[in-house]
Amino acid sequence: MRLRRAPALAVQVEPEVRGTNVTERIEQIAQAPVPESPHPKRRRRNPFAWVGRTGIGVWIGLLFAVGGFGLLAYTWGETAALTDVALQVPYVVSGGFSGLGLILLGLLVVNISVKRRETRARERQLEELRDALAGLRAAIEGEREEER
């Protein structure tokens, strides 16, 4: 197999540049405005960025809820084959009610953590609003003093 050489690229030199020095031309190129690309670069987003934004309380609550559903599934698996209700009752009492309790506990933890996060966000927004109103009041009072 024989490799062929790529053809040399022809460089065209503009007529007004022919007599200039190489360093002067480099400076001219460096100072020339860079045209904007019609296709802006897209930043690659982290597909797991939402994990950090949810908060640890939400994840703990979800773990409790998943554990509760797992306990319910285990209880159902143990009692499904039993035909005697007297043998099913201990599984329902220990596994079923405990599973429901874990699910409710998980929902409670998620609810509390989300409400706390929303409260912090609301307080931050109110602080920004308070600062904006203070600046507006100062600007209005400054205009009134100038009119006098």
Determine, yes or no, domain membership for 27.
Answer: no
Domain count, the chain: 1
Residues contacting 107, CB < 8 A, separation 6+: 61, 65
pLDDT in the model for residue 98? 94
pLDDT for 26 equals 72
Residue 23 lies in a domain: no
Domain-embedded: residue 9? no
Q: Which residue from 49, 60, 46 is spatially nearest to 116, judged by alpha carbons? A: 60
Side chain identity, residue 10: A
Residue 46: inside a domain: no
pLDDT of the residue at 75: 92
The pTM assigned to this predicted structure is 0.57
Whether residue 140 lies inside any domain: the answer is: yes
| Domain assignment present for 58 | yes
In a domain, 91, yes or no: yes
Residue 80 belongs to some domain of the structure: yes
Are 106 and 64 in contact by the 8 Å Cβ rule? The answer is yes
d(CA 75, CA 88): 9
DSSP 94: I
Going from the first residue of the chain to its last (148 residues), give the mean pLDDT of each consecutive group of 10, the final group possibly shorter. Answer: 54 53 71 69 70 81 96 91 88 91 96 92 94 89 76
Domain that holds residue 106: 54-147
